[in-house]
Structure 1
Amino acid sequence: MDYQTLTECDFFRFVSQNTEAAKIRIAYDEFSQTIFHSYVEAGNPYRLLFALIYAEVELQSLHDTLSDEKDGKAAYLKKALALVRRMLENLQTQVPPLSAIPLNNSPSSFRWTGSLVELIEVIYALDEMGCINDGQNDIKELTAFFGSQLGMEIKDSHCYNAYTDMKRRKSESRTYFLDRMRERLNLRMQRDDAKERARR
């Protein structure tokens, strides 16, 4: 769940435009249902928590801007704001603070045996493809995660310097490691195909 999911509902668009009250009411109902479904189905309660916090800020801003309106917008904004705040209160009693999450300090049985630049190349490629959390990551968080899983400490300066080195490469393709990976994986599949043909 992206933190902007709730603010992308029609309700936010309708209350900021000249929309008739009936449509705003329907959009408010859909907004409420989205919150309730997200609450019930929350696989990651922190994502819902962040989405509610973001929605609260946006609703408060809209309410402050439109509080003098007499066409019902302010009333629905007030209701939506109250709902989001009640859900936040309820969720916060069930979700421990991030600082309370125990870190897994057991050493991993896996370690990176390639070069740091090669690992950074893979991490940047995964980030660019949006393969982890739909691409909603900070590259520093990703490098810290991979480093912790593979027994490496990757400082921000290491990450930046490695990426800068990659960009300075003069070849037609600057993704040396990814190119070698692609080539080696294709060769492996060709070998497997040849073995299968030999068994027939």
Structure 2
Amino acid sequence: MDIFYVYPYLLLLEQGDCDAKKLNEASNDFIRHICRLHEGHGDRLRVFFHLQYMKFRLTVLRERYHNNGQNHLPCYCHVVGAIMYVENTMERLGTPQEDTGGKTGCPPGEGPPVLWTADAINLVELLYACHELKLFNNGEISLKDLTAHVCQTFGVDVKNVSSYYARMRRRKGDDRTYFIDRLREVLLRKMDTDDEKQYRRNK
């Protein structure tokens, strides 16, 4: 294993290529590779230095994209998610799992964990809307408890959920619900595209 190997995913992020499809495919490949490396490589110290090098490059990218405008928001979100995944993997390196022969990583036969790799504020925006609609526990759960549970499940560090809400309220005009509006936009676009494909097949 080359400690200074650069994944195609990292190259896309460094080039500022914000094509969602390319990033998602490269991200999945990156996570699978890190998971296999963590599970199967015998030299833990070498794996640790490899991950540390990845984290360093990703941290530099995070600073580059921070406050760099909406054009690079997808890249910034991917960078934050990748850093969290690398950090979690580094933490697990020091905690051997039971019944795995001293190895750590993904359980045999299972894929990588499901992590939220977009910006945390996007998840908070979604959870606020769901909470207002009482979609969890018929509304019999506090927003704080809901956020804590979901964020822990998806590996997101949200210490003060109200601060994220304050940031959303400070947005201007149509950007106040940027993420939810974006979800609607991309889903409608997919439906339209699939409708068009089906129409062509049926002609």
Bin for the TM-score computed over the shorter chain: 0.3 to 0.5
TM superposition score normalised by structure 2: 0.43
